[in-house]
Structure 1
Amino acid sequence: MTKKWVTMGDVARAAGVGKITVSRALSTPQKVSAETREKVEAAVAALGYVRDDTAGALSSQRSKMVGAVVSTLDQPVFASTIRGLSEGLAPEGMQLLLGTAQYAPETEAGLVATLMGRRPDAMVVTSSEHTEGTRTLLSRLPTVELWELPEKPIFAAVGFSNRAAGRAMTEHLVQTGRRAIAMLSTERPGDTRAQLRAEGYAEAVPGHAPRLLKLTPEPGQTGPDLGAIGLEWILEKWPDTDAVLCASDALGLGAFCEAGRRGLSVPQRLAITGFGDVEDVGDAGIGLTTIRIDGAAIGRKAAQLLLAATTGQALPETRIDMGFTLTRRASS
């Protein structure tokens, strides 16, 4: 079956009016009579008409679209960031085109090129590590890098210091009497955030003798899977470990469950911490000590910057630190 888009002419014929009248009824409904507006609206609903904004975008040089490439949507904190971004853009009629790079710079490069082909007004990325070609493309538009604070953003950055977060959690464990602190992280190309948290841990660990274990996820493995495996390996390599700092809540959840299976009391024998403050690890869940990031606030702040930039306003600052909160619970 041959399919075609319903045109404004189709709507005009169904409503018994001219194309100009249809355009007015859709763009400036207050300029047509209620009777005419009702006829046009009925025809639009019956035919399934979707307005073609391509011509308007070409004439105004505005597409009303923002391209967004996020590392993953598997983690709730990224989903909340996208929600905040979408909510912040919506009042101005801006829409998101979304892709996920799965922490791979090459995948990000392909997504950015595809999204740029749609001529967005601006771009958002949740990484500061890009291929040279990607960086060149992103430099052509207002681009906000989220979740990190690169020294020299392409345009602007909204995030927090992952290094400071890793250091703060390690200092917390030291202050609670832990001396044999290990860190469990994942090894993914392009995941600079985990690396920065590990650097913060290394700066604060007692004696600067890091016990750092990085695991590369295999296809089908979840964060909790890796957390359980990681705790097993840590205890085999460093049996006297009295605290495990996990680079994500998913890892922390897996480590917590594995500690229970081994009969290790938390936090008496072993303290376990996470990162992200997802719902399952809160006080109503396992009570995991973690770093809380307000992803929705990061998204909303990014939206503010993008709306200002796309309307020609000067930005008062281009590197915005949204901070983090160390939330202590029963696991430490």
Structure 2
Amino acid sequence: MLSRCQPVLPYSADSRIQATFEQHSGNPTPRPMGTTRINDRVVSDPQASPPRMSDVARIAGVSKMTVSRVLAGHSVAPATRERVQQAIDKLGYVADAAAGALSSGRSEFVAVLVPSLASSNFSDTVRGLSATLEPHGLQLLIGDTDYDLVREERLVRSMLRYQPRCIALTGSQHTEGTRQLLERSRIPVVEMWDLPANPIDMAVGFSNARAAREMVRYLKERGYRKIGFLAGASDLDRRGLERLKGYQQEMKAQGLGEPRVIRFGESPITMSHGAPALDALLEQWPDTDAVMCVSDMSAFGAIMQCHRRGLSVPTDIAVAGFGNFEVAVCCHPTITTVSVDAYGIGSRTGKLLLSSLGSVTAQAVPQRRKLTIDYTVIARESA
């Protein structure tokens, strides 16, 4: 066994393949240019240019077309496929997916847009999508819209240049430009986390308004009547606006008087907004006995402010959140909230996309344009 690098001589004047002549054997062994053989291992030279498809073809003794067919998963003789795969492994060759998409008109990407990857709910949705699509050879191309519809349009336009097989985006509110881009793309589209009356193509979600109405009924059943609502001051969080709308509708339906709404801070509001929003609510309506928050994060901030004000939760005032984030379980008292299967939204979206692409049987996914995800009011200590 050799213990040092062997001298390298040219294999041909114009070829990217060279040969190393091992002194103990006297037999030339072809190896890719830009690599060194050490103890029978091929080691890439970081200074060399990356291997090309033509290099794979030369090593395997086949045409570039055959290499392309192997990479595309088309029918190729097993022995030929094995030679090509061995050449790919030896060279460390990685196919240019973008070039392949341009030539074939399709890629192995699924474009996904979410408002924020910092939200555990949306990151869970992405995990559900990935777990469903990856076994079928599809990878996610992810964009963060930051709750900005204009930014969403820019991202959609940019992602479509990569020829994605399909696209999943969050919510049903989009610019007219986004809708036109998606309608003209002629690829499967799923709007997640919402159930629009007229989806662009398909939708997987639930009614935020209906979930908020159920929380109002829950609080009323527990004896609360003077119920407030904390939300962001801007209209960026459209699902939050739907929850506010549902609260207002159910307050009227239950005869609970005028809604007590405080809109504070840039949407979506966080822990730091919950405290001043609660102060504003109690300043305007000091007899409030329960408060619904647009999210668990803002509910946590409100509960901390109750502690600072010497108010007992839920004895003096009840607090409810939305989302069933981890903070809802860690908080003291634990937060009553609405739980949504965020991972399930991603998983069902993935199955719907696969069905549209013909990658799963029609029986695996109901042939509907809208799939409803269940939500649950989880009763905990805060209300």
Q: State the TM-score, normalizing by the size of structure 1.
A: 0.88
**Residue number in structure 1 paired with 2:216:** 170
Say yes or no: does 1:211 pair with 2:292.
Answer: no
Change in 2 beyond 3 A, CA 1:216/1:35: same
Q: 2:347 aligns with which of 282, 300, 309?
A: 300
The one-letter code sitting in structure 1 at the alignment partner of 2:51 is V
One-letter amino acid of the counterpart of residue 144, structure 1: V
| 1:318 pairs with 2:369 | yes
Q: Which amino acid aligns with 2:265?
A: T
* Candidates 64, 83, 86, aligned match of 2:130: 86
Helix, strand or coil for the counterpart of 2:256? helix
Instruction: Tell me what 1:196 maps to.
Output: 242
* 2:275–2:305 Cα contact (<8 Å) kept: yes
| C-alpha distance 102-261 of structure 1, shift in aligned 2 (>3 A) | same
Match of 2:207 among 151, 161, 171: 161
How far off is 1:157 after superposition? Answer: 0.6
Alpha-carbon shift at residue 3 of structure 1 (Å): 8.8
How many matched pairs?
A: 325
Alpha-carbon distance between aligned partners in 2 of 1:81 and 1:155, rounded to the nearest angstrom:
19
Instruction: For residue 147 of structure 1, report the CA deviation from its aligned partner.
Output: 0.5
Q: Which runs of 5+ in 1 are unaligned?
A: none
TM superposition shift of 1:17: 4.8
User: Given that residues 144 and 155 in structure 1 are in contact (C-alpha distance below 8 angstroms), is that contact kept between their aligned partners in structure 2?
Assistant: yes
Pick closer, same or farther for the CA change 1:222–1:60 going to 2, 3 Å. same
Give 1 or 2: higher helix fraction.
Answer: 1
Q: Check whether the contact 1:280–1:286 (CA below 8 A) recurs between aligned residues.
A: no
**Residues 155 and 209 of structure 1: CA distance in aligned 2, closer, same or farther (over 3 Å):** same
Indicate how the Cα distance of structure 1 residues 147 and 208 shifts in structure 2: closer, same or farther if over 3 A, else same: farther
1:142 to 185, 188, 205: 188
Which ranges of structure 2 fall in alignment gaps of 5 or more residues?
A: 1-45
- 262-271 or 28-37: bigger deviation: 28-37
Identity, in percent, stands at 38
Residue 81 to residue 33, structure 1, CA distance change in 2 (3 Å) = closer
**1:128–1:23 distance in 2 versus 1, CA, 3 Å:** closer
Higher relative contact order (CA 8 A, sep 6+): 1
Listed as ranges, the matches of 1:48-197 within 5 Å are: 49-54=93-98, 56-58=100-102, 60-140=104-184, 141-197=187-243
Distance 2:70 2:222 in 1: 67
Residue 42 of structure 1 pairs with residue 90 of structure 2: yes
Instruction: State the shift of 1:54 in Å.
Output: 4.2
Counterpart-to-counterpart distance in 2, 1:33 and 1:211: 69
Q: TM-score, with normalisation over the residues of structure 2?
A: 0.77
3-state DSSP of counterpart to 1:268? coil
Q: Which has the larger radius of gyration?
A: 2
In the alignment, structure 1 residue 240 sits paired with structure 2 residue 284: no
Is the Cα contact below 8 Å between 2:194 and 2:208 reproduced in 1? yes
3-state SS of 2:231 partner: strand
Report how far residue 191 of structure 1 moved.
2.3
